[in-house]
Amino acid sequence: MISIWPLAGIPEIGPDASLSDEIVAACRRSDLSIIDGDIFVVTHKIVSKAEGRTAEILTDADYRALIAAEASDIIRRRGDLVITRTRHGFICANAAVDRSNTPVGTAVLLPIDPDRSAHRIRVGIERATGTAVGVLISDTFGRAWRRGQTDVAIGMSGVTSVLDLRGSTDHEGRELSATEVAVADELAGAADLVMGKASKIPVALVRGSR
């Protein structure tokens, strides 16, 4: 059975903050012992803030220029909405330049290398606790032709991203030819249910998924 806990009490993150130290401290405050197999889902926003991936935007023109700078390709425009491909290869709105949950006049950008960011956090937690854990970096994406948004994994370390069931059989004995379960995205989406968008909880602990 999967259990998910929000890690409250993590302070506002600034450049060069140690996210692994903050996560370990938050677990201790919550009386949660970190064990082998635990997975930490970390919102990209605190990762970007710790890595200095923020920018000043004083005008709408600044915002549009920042989107253009962060995008590798402009796919479509409609009003103020720009569908882009980022340098990471993500297809998303406005190159994921985010003005929510950040001081007025600033925006948060994606980490340059989310997988590397996840690796650094994982190594820090493992060194501090002597456990083997996984880390997912999450962000909120829309979905084509569907209303609403969900969190997905944009970076990971120590976690299986996709469970490939091709070649196995269903309960009727038929071979599965296309089934690949997006495990990392599903965990990111589930973790967002306890973190929320306005609750100031940027990290969740997932246990029992592997």
| Residue 98 and residue 123 in contact, taking contact as beta carbons nearer than 8 Å | no
Whole-angstrom Cα Rg for the chain: 18
Q: Is the dihedral of CA 89, 92, 97, 102 positive or negative?
A: negative
CATH number of 54-110: 3.90.1660.10
From residue 44, alpha-carbon distances to 32, 61, 174, 199 in Å are 23, 24, 40, 15
Q: What is the pLDDT along the chain (210 residues), one digit of tens a residue?
A: 899 999 999 999 999 999 999 999 999 999 999 999 999 999 999 999 999 999 999 888 898 899 999 999 999 988 878 899 999 999 988 899 988 888 889 999 999 999 999 999 999 999 999 999 999 999 998 887 888 889 999 999 999 988 767 878 778 777 777 777 889 999 999 999 999 876 789 999 999 986
Alpha helices in the chain (DSSP H): 19-29, 44-50, 60-70, 114-129, 183-195
Q: Provide the residue ranges of all domains of the chain, joining segments of one domain with +.
A: 3-48+112-207, 54-110
For the 3-48+112-207 domain, the top CATH level (class) is: alpha beta
